[in-house]
Chain A
């Protein structure tokens, strides 16, 4: 046990972070293209062939932008907030199994670790709102916090069904147990759980139709109103890494993880990536389709619909398991 190959670990980690950041960059391109075409527009076309270099240009632009810190801001907290978000989201990546052999930290309680880290990220948001000393930021931070904590319960409860079917909190074991189950994926027997998960996934990541914390038509940019340049892009990265993490959790817990109907040679992680891209596409599709929820509707949906539904799903799963045995 004592032998930890740090070189290997660091290389693995840096490659993972780089790949994920590349995905973050191209997720923005993917998003703009998908929404563009859904709205009969072209999306980015100017920078590079088919606009493929657009995310790079955006990154460079954000890096060189002036870093404006409002005079009234609470500086230490203002500095800390984006880093808290980013660190919390990055550390989620460490426990995701992309393949039986490619997981940085094979935790036995990986699922709980992800919950813990995503609750930590909500601090970054609320601190950003507070530290900016701006009305829009403050409101955005508060909204985000109460929304995230409300839907965190629904999300946690929606995954209890999966835990019951697997008897484990290890993400790798969840995938393995899933492959051995009659349907191959848990999205079919756990369809209620999957539905609750998908809705709370959208809310947890502050995506449309639950993007009230950043609602640009009413709160400018919500909690990151006062953030500019590279600081803003740290929040942005954290948000998109969060989306990727949620998509991965959905893939692992409900869609069978790295397993597919057949093995694809020479393309590593083919099924895992395909499923993640499908869920990401779903994120963007929803954004192009649905209007935003009103705040009371959002809270009602979370507290009066999703949580009872998730509890009912747990009870149903328990009964089904007892009856079937």
Chain B
């Protein structure tokens, strides 16, 4: 069986994740026994500057947020392709640069199109 070992580098990360969970959970749990708890209806309503909350707090918001999310996905993927490219840039040289220029160039077309279509306009 290949890799029949524990990679020590990542074990530390795993332990850190578990430690964080326990730390967060324990802080909340231990605190239960020390803090006072006197809830009443008014205290438990959502804060709205002292007024009783009006309407549902969850309302549909501007479609622009969604556009930002989509553009984010696209550029995030682009950035992720850039990382291995950047790492091997020294080995591959100008060939890699040309390839990446084409890659980014195509995405820039989309970016400029989105800009021209007003997807990046927030004051409207």
Find residues 213-234 in chain A having any chain B CB closer than 8 Å to their own CB: 220, 225-226, 229-231, 234
The contact size tier of chain B is: 35 or more
Q: A70 to B44, Cβ gap below 8 A?
A: yes
The residue of chain A having its C-beta at the shortest distance from the C-beta of B44 within the complex is A71
Residues of A within 8 A of B5 (CB): 1-2
Residue of A83, A130, A137 most packed against chain B (CB within 10 A): A83
Find residues 60-101 in chain B having any chain A CB closer than 8 Å to their own CB: 61, 65, 68-69, 71-72, 75-76, 79, 82-83, 86-91, 93-94, 97, 100-101
The contact size tier of chain A is: 35 or more
Q: A138 to B58, Cβ gap below 8 A?
A: yes
Residues of B within 8 A of A150 (CB): 68, 72
Residues of B within 8 A of A111 (CB): 83
Residues of A within 8 A of B90 (CB): 164, 167, 321
Find residues 238-287 in chain A having any chain B CB closer than 8 Å to their own CB: none
A105→B94 CA distance, assembly (Å):
34
Q: A91 to B20, Cβ gap below 8 A?
A: yes
* Residue among B11, B24, B37, B120 making CB contact with A234, cutoff 8 Å: B24
Residues of B within 8 A of A133 (CB): 46, 57-58
Residues 27-42 of chain B, each 1 if its beta carbon lies under 8 Å from chain A, else 0: 1100110111111010
A73→B7 CA distance, assembly (Å):
41
Asked whether A132 is an interface residue with its Cβ less than 8 Å from the other chain, the reply is yes
Residues of B within 8 A of A105 (CB): 9-13, 16
Find residues 1-33 in chain A having any chain B CB closer than 8 Å to their own CB: 1-2, 4, 6, 9-10, 13-14, 17
Asked whether B117 is an interface residue with its Cβ less than 8 Å from the other chain, the reply is no
Asked whether B6 is an interface residue with its Cβ less than 8 Å from the other chain, the reply is yes
Asked whether A95 is an interface residue with its Cβ less than 8 Å from the other chain, the reply is yes
Asked whether A135 is an interface residue with its Cβ less than 8 Å from the other chain, the reply is yes
Q: B57 to A135, Cβ gap below 8 A?
A: yes
Q: B31 to A157, Cβ gap below 8 A?
A: no
Residues of A within 8 A of B68 (CB): 146, 149-150, 299
Residues of B within 8 A of A93 (CB): 16
Q: A66-B35, A105-B10, A319-B97 are in contact. Are A10 and B76 (CB under 8 A)?
A: no
A311→B85 CA distance, assembly (Å):
14
Asked whether A288 is an interface residue with its Cβ less than 8 Å from the other chain, the reply is no
Residues of B within 8 A of A296 (CB): 121-123
Asked whether A77 is an interface residue with its Cβ less than 8 Å from the other chain, the reply is no
Asked whether B53 is an interface residue with its Cβ less than 8 Å from the other chain, the reply is yes
Q: A9 to B11, Cβ gap below 8 A?
A: yes
Q: Which of A36-44, A194-202, A300-308 contacts B (4 or more CB under 8 A)?
A: A300-308
Q: A13-B15, A167-B90 provided; 11 other pairs, C-beta below 8 A? A: A9-B12, A63-B31, A66-B36, A87-B21, A133-B58, A134-B53, A138-B57, A156-B82, A157-B82, A163-B87, A304-B115
* List of 6 A-B pairs having minimum Cβ-Cβ separation, nearest first: A296-B122, A134-B46, A87-B20, A163-B86, A105-B12, A90-B20
20 A-B interface contacts by CB (under 8 A):
A13-B19, A68-B39, A69-B44, A91-B16, A91-B20, A104-B12, A105-B11, A107-B13, A135-B48, A142-B61, A146-B65, A156-B82, A163-B83, A164-B89, A167-B90, A168-B87, A229-B35, A234-B24, A296-B123, A299-B68
A interface residue numbers (CB < 8 A to B): 1-2, 4, 6, 9-10, 13-14, 17, 63-72, 79, 82-83, 86-87, 90-91, 93-95, 104-108, 111-113, 130, 132-138, 142, 146, 149-150, 152-153, 156-157, 160-161, 163-164, 167-169, 220, 225-226, 229-231, 234, 295-296, 299-300, 303-304, 307, 311, 314-315, 318-319, 321-322, 325
